[in-house]
Each structure stands twice: as C-alpha cells, then as structure tokens.
C-alpha cells in the first residue's frame, strides 16, 4: 500500500494534529482551580479549532480524487461541509467557557474538548467515505463519544439518564443500518458505493435494505418516527452539548444521507421508493414536531422539537438529488447553524447565570438583559424564516429545490407548517418582551467568549441573508 496517500487527507491530518496537541495540553497544562482560568480552558482549544477551520477553508485542491482504492473520496463540496462543521464546533467551544469553568468541570475540561474533536473526526470520515465499512467506522466514531458528552454531568441524574437513552437507541439504530447494509452486500457482493450503484437491480429485499438504511440515518438526523430519544436527551444533556447535537451532528448526517441516496439510488424504482418514504417522513417530522413544540415549557425540550422540525426542512432538499438541492441543503445547514447556536448561546448564558431553563423564566428578560433578548429574537426569527433574515432565504431555496423536483404538495404542507412554527417561536419573543414577571432574571454580563460566539452567530443570521456571494460560492462548488 502506498502510505503517501495519507498526505492527501489534509482535513483529517490537520484535525488529528490539533487533537494530539490538545491531548498533550491536557497532560501538562493545569487550570487554576480557584479562578477557573488557564491556558487550556477555551483559549488553546478555540485557537486550534480556528486554525483548523482556516486551514480547511483554503481551497488548495478544487479537484475530486479517491484514495485507498476508492474507500476515501474527496470533492470540493465535502471539504466545504467539513469547514462548516468546524465553524459550528468553534462556536460550541466559545459558548462552553463559563460552563467548563465551574468547579465540578475543571478536572474534566480536557475530556470535553477531545471528545468533541473525536466526534468531528468521525464526521470527516463519514463524509469522505466511498465504502460502507469506512462509512460505518466514521458513523460510530461520531456517535459513541457523543454518548459520553451527553452524560458529561455524570452526577446529575437527568444527564446520566440521557446518556443511557442515547447510547442504547444509537446502538439499535446502528443495528438497523447494518442489517440494511448486509442486505445490500448480499444483493451485490460489494460495499463500494460505485459498485453498489452499478450492480443494484430492483427487488423487494433491496427496498427493505433501503428502508433500513433510511431508518438508521433517520435516528442520527432526528426524523419522525425515529425521534423519540431527542427531547429527553436534549433536556438531560448539558446545554452546550445539546447545541452541538442539534447542529453539528445533524448537519453531517443530513449531508451524507443526500450523497448516498444520490450515488446509490439516483433513478428508477429505488428512487421512487425512497422519495415516497421521505415524503411521509418529512410531513410527519415537520407537523408532529411543530404540534409538540407548542406544549413544551422546558426551553431545551422546546428546542428539541424545533430541531426535529428543522430536520424535516433540511431533508426537503433531498428529493431530486440535484446540484440545486445540494446547494440549498448546505446553505440551509450553514444558516441553521448560525441561528440555532446563537439561541443556544443565549440559553447557556441564562442558565449559567440563573439556573433557569423554563420558558416562563424568560418573562421580562428584555427589561433586564435587552441585548441578549434582541439577539435571541434575531435567531428565533431566522429559525422561523422571517425576512430579511438568512433563515427566510434558506427556507426559500429548499422549497425551490423541492418544487423543481416535483414535490409540489410537500412544499405546500411545509409552507403551512412554517406558519405554525412562527407562532411557537413568537411565544418566546412574547415572553421576553411582553409578559410581565415579578422576579425577572437579574441583569448579568456574559463572558467574553460567549459574546464572541454571539457576534459570530449574529453576523451569520444577518449577513448570510445579504451576502449572496456565499450562496453563489456553494452553488459553484456543488457543480464541481
């Protein structure tokens, strides 16, 4: 084997170097237990993650290539998606500073950063896989450390319970996915994506394999009816981990689902089968999540059902498997990342300052913390798809891609559900600006790292709706 091929895996190598540096820093750098400050807590991980993002963003190779006999694949779009995931991870590191500075987390800071970066490495392998073996290794590398992150507050019952639920259901979903892959191997005799695409002939066993594969991926993206873990896990996990789960993990799985369906089942009876399945899954995800979101009082459970609904909109770009759909999906992921992480940064700041996680606790927040309330409003408006914020344009492009793919009824149902989502997002805005409270959350100042994360998210929410060059660049890359 030609080991020089490893040198072409630029994104993975840069991330592995950052992981090794953080591992050594965890061994030799100690955080000050009294002040919660040190070289390790946030500055070093954030700087390394920023360097990784910059290194990956440099378009040194705009050509597609394969390594290790086709097991590893590289395209400009894959490199772009990895950069988007890096941005989300960087924001998560920034918003985690105050939480990791708490007394009970000082000795566990290293584990948090390393686990997050290992999950990111798994997502890299999953995105660049050209073989189901490498795909599954990446999938598990991205999933198993997340269970440890969910149970990070191990002495808190809800966190331990959330971690147990996540790992058990993750194992079950992986078993379903592997069962489907075994059917595909039995039908074709290969696990290479290109080989599967050329050898697949229509059979009911193949349809069963396809549905099992969609079920396994549906768990990772939190699509109905594979969503039952989401609310309990989001509520029990630390808020920063919940933000990471809702955006970065979901984004990689959605992109991979699009790519695999486009590669393996682009046309014919199989395409009709998975498009029909996604039709009902999208309707169920958007509708059921919106209705359940109306009933929530815990803001983390509220955001869990919001994430399920947003997953339905993301998958709306997949039917047709066109370059336009790919562009719409990646742009939606970028905008959703900015808006959702902005909202979670505000939630983290409020929780760390007041230990409040209910929607009612946000009553009168504008009177004591107007800046945070304003940023939260921008993020919620973007999630709801209100113009002129970026969320409006991301939804528009997704709807346009689905409409051009012939999914007219599906687009209409999604538009109706957008009105419902606008109502429940406005409930939080109403709580902050209109509802009165005898004891509103006291005025507090967020730490510098959280403020930087909020600045980045606000720029994304506002700027991505104005800077058309971003969408044009994604569109150009999707055609390569």
Using CA atoms, how far apart are residues 53 and 13, in angstroms rounded to an integer?
Answer: 13
Residue 305, both tokens: 């059902």
Q: How confident is the model at residue 36 (pLDDT cuts 50, 70, 90)?
A: very low
Stretch among 59-63, 263-267, 345-349, 439-443 having the lowest mean pLDDT:
59-63
The whole-number average pLDDT for the span 282-294 is: 89
- pLDDT at position 378 over 80: yes
Q: How confident is the model at residue 458 (pLDDT cuts 50, 70, 90)?
A: very high
Q: Read off the pLDDT of residues 143-190 as tens digits, 9 standing for 90 and up.
A: 888 888 888 887 776 777 888 888 888 888 888 889 999 998 888 888
Q: Taking the mean position of all CA atoms in its chain, how far away is CA 197?
A: 28
CA distances from 335 to 18, 94, 141, 248, 386 (A): 26, 18, 26, 12, 13
The whole-number average pLDDT for the span 315-324 is: 82
Instruction: Report whether 46 contacts 89 (CB < 8 A).
Output: no
Task: End-to-end CA distance of the chain: give it in Å, rounded.
Answer: 29
> In angstroms, what is the C-alpha Rg of the chain?
21
pTM of the entire structure?
0.91
> What pLDDT, on the 0 to 100 scale, is given for residue 1?
60
Stretch among 38-47, 179-188, 422-431 having the lowest mean pLDDT:
38-47
Instruction: Report whether 95 contacts 345 (CB < 8 A).
Output: yes
- pLDDT at position 30 over 70: no
> What pLDDT, on the 0 to 100 scale, is given for residue 198?
82
The whole-number average pLDDT for the span 77-95 is: 91
Stretch among 111-120, 189-198, 369-378, 450-459 having the lowest mean pLDDT:
189-198
Orientation of helix 323-354 relative to helix 390-404, angle to 10°: 150
- Find, among 84, 83, 65, the residue nearest to 75 by Cα: 65
Using CA atoms, how far apart are residues 242 and 163, in angstroms rounded to an integer?
Answer: 12
- pLDDT at position 38 over 60: no
Identify any residues that bridge with 72 across adjacent strands, giving them in sequence order.
67, 129
Using CA atoms, how far apart are residues 330 and 226, in angstroms rounded to an integer?
Answer: 23
Instruction: Report whether 301 contacts 286 (CB < 8 A).
Output: no
Q: Write the secondary structure of 248-300 as one string of H (helix), E (strand) and C (coil).
A: HHHHHHHHHHHHHHHHHCCCHHHHHHHHHHHHHHHHHHHHHHHHHHCCCCEHH
> What pLDDT, on the 0 to 100 scale, is given for residue 350?
87
> What pLDDT, on the 0 to 100 scale, is given for residue 90?
92
Orientation of helix 109-127 relative to helix 250-264, angle to 10°: 10
Orientation of helix 370-384 relative to helix 448-463, angle to 10°: 40
> What pLDDT, on the 0 to 100 scale, is given for residue 16?
92
Using CA atoms, how far apart are residues 340 and 337, in angstroms rounded to an integer?
Answer: 5
Question: Percent of the chain scored above 70 by pLDDT?
Answer: 95
> What pLDDT, on the 0 to 100 scale, is given for residue 266?
75
> What pLDDT, on the 0 to 100 scale, is given for residue 120?
92
Residue 185 host element (H or E): helix 157-188
What single string gives the DSSP state of each residue in 428-447? HHHHHHT---SSPPPP----
Q: How confident is the model at residue 89 (pLDDT cuts 50, 70, 90)?
A: very high
Q: Read off the pLDDT of residues 432-450 as tens digits, 9 standing for 90 and up.
A: 898 887 777 888 888 888 8
Residue 472, both tokens: 């044009």
Diameter over CA atoms, the chain: 70
CA distances from 45 to 113, 233, 237, 414 (A): 7, 25, 21, 39
Using CA atoms, how far apart are residues 329 and 158, in angstroms rounded to an integer?
Answer: 33
The whole-number average pLDDT for the span 311-315 is: 89
């Amino acid at each position: 084997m030609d080991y020089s091929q490893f040198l072409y895996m630029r994104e993975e190598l840069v991330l592995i170097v950052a992981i090794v540096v953080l591992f050594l820093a965890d061994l030799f750098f100690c955080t000050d237990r009294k002040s919660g400050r040190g070289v390790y807590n946030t500055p070093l991980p954030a700087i390394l993650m920023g360097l990784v993002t910059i290194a990956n963003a440099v378009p040194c190779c705009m050509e597609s290539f394969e390594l290790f006999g086709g097991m590893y694949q590289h395209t400009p779009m894959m490199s772009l998606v990895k950069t988007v995931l890096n941005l989300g991870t960087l924001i998560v590191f920034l918003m985690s500073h105050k939480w990791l500075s708490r007394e009970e987390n000082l000795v566990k800071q290293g584990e948090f950063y390393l686990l997050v970066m290992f999950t990111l490495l798994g997502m890299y392998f999953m995105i660049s896989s050209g073989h189901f073996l490498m795909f599954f290794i990446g999938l598990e590398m991205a999933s198993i450390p997340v269970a440890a992150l969910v149970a990070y507050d191990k002495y808190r019952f809800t966190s331990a319970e959330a971690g147990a639920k996540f790992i058990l259901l993750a194992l079950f979903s992986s078993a379903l996915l592997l069962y489907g892959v075994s059917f595909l191997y039995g039908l074709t005799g290969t696990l290479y994506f290109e080989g599967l695409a050329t050898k697949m002939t229509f059979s009911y066993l193949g349809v069963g394999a396809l549905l099992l594969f969609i079920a396994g991926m549906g768990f990772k993206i939190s699509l109905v009816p594979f969503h039952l873990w989401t609310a309990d896990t989001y509520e029990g996990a630390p808020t920063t981990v919940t933000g990471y789960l809702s955006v970065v993990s979901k984004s990689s799985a959605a992109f991979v689902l699009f790519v695999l369906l486009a590669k393996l089942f682009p046309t014919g009876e199989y395409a009709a089968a998975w498009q029909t399945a996604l039709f009902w899954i999208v309707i169920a995800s958007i509708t059921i999540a919106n209705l359940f979101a109306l009933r929530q009082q815990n803001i983390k459970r509220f955001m869990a059902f919001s994430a399920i609904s947003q997953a339905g909109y993301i998958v709306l770009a997949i039917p047709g498997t066109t370059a336009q759909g790919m562009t719409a999906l990646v742009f939606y992921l970028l905008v959703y990342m900015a808006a959702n992480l902005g909202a979670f940064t505000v939630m983290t700041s409020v929780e760390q300052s007041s230990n409040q996680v209910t929607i009612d606790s946000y009553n009168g927040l504008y009177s004591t913390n107007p800046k945070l309330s304003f940023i939260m409003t921008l993020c919620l408006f973007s999630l709801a798809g209100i113009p002129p914020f970026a969320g409006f344009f991301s939804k528009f492009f997704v709807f346009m891609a689905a409409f051009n793919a012939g999914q007219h009824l599906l687009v209409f149902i999604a538009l109706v559900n957008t009105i419902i989502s606008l109502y429940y997002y406005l409930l939080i805005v109403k709580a902050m600006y209109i509802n009165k409270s005898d004891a509103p959350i006291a005025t507090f100042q967020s730490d510098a790292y959280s403020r930087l994360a909020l600045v980045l998210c606000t720029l994304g929410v506002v700027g991505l709706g104005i800077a058309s060059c971003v969408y044009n660049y994604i569109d150009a890359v999707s055609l390569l």
